Amino acid sequence: MLFLSSKKATFIGALALSLSTGVNALWTCGSDQHVFPVDTSKFLVHFTRWSDSHYEDKTPWIRICLPNDDGTWTDVEPLGLNCAPKGQTFTPKQTKLKANLKVVGGQGCTGSENSGLNGASITYKDQKINLQHGGDACGPRNHGITCQFKK
């Protein structure tokens, strides 16, 4: 039988909650994305570079946010980036999109802790976004960068 004081029980409960939710939890569309309103004609791609990543031992990754008619987002499972020099192409089966999505990691794969995203880009159909200078298509960097694409 285990006896705990209320202070110890509270601490253990808080510790268990932080471990179960993950202090380094991955970015999610619903709780972490505050830049773009839901628009059913568009989707979002969140790119996290290696130095911001808590995914599979510092692997750069992307997460796609698909809009729902009720004004919420659906998170596609995160996809790790292999950092090939010419980029990686993700298929519709992987992304839940209608066409391939190509991601080039650039310095997001090889840069130092303080490096930018030079050479990093995301291409969907005829839309190509340079992640270092995404303009209005991307929000501010916050443990990664989120960019908006037309379906």
Give domain status of residue 68, yes or no: yes
Q: How many whole angstroms separate alpha carbon 113 and alpha carbon 51?
A: 6
| Res 92: pLDDT | 99
Q: Is residue 4 part of a domain?
A: no
The answer to the question of residue 16 being in a domain is no
Instruction: Identify whether 135 is part of a domain.
Output: yes
The predicted pLDDT at position 8 comes to: 45
How many domains are there within the chain? 1
Residue 43 bridge partners (DSSP): 149
Closest by CA to 145, choosing from 13, 4, 36, is 36
| Position 17 in a domain | no
Say if 111 falls within a structural domain: yes
Within a domain: 15: no
Q: What is the pLDDT of residue 23?
A: 38
User: Is 7 a domain residue?
Assistant: no
pLDDT at 52: 82
Domain of residue 128 covers 26-150
The pLDDT value recorded for residue 25 is 74
Distance CA 108, CA 29 (A): 20
- pLDDT tens string, the chain, 151 residues long: the values are 445 444 444 334 433 333 333 435 789 998 898 899 999 999 999 999 988 877 877 789 999 999 999 999 999 999 999 999 999 999 999 999 999 999 999 999 886 667 789 999 999 999 999 999 999 999 998 889 999 999 9
3-class DSSP string for the chain: CCCCCHHHHHHHHHHHHHHHHCCCCCCCHHHHCCCCCCCCCEEEEEEECHHHCCCCCCCCEEEEEEECCCCCEEECCCEECCCCCCCEEECHHHHCCCCCEEEECCHHHHCCCCCCCCCCEEEECCEEEECCCCHHHECCCCCCEEEEEEC
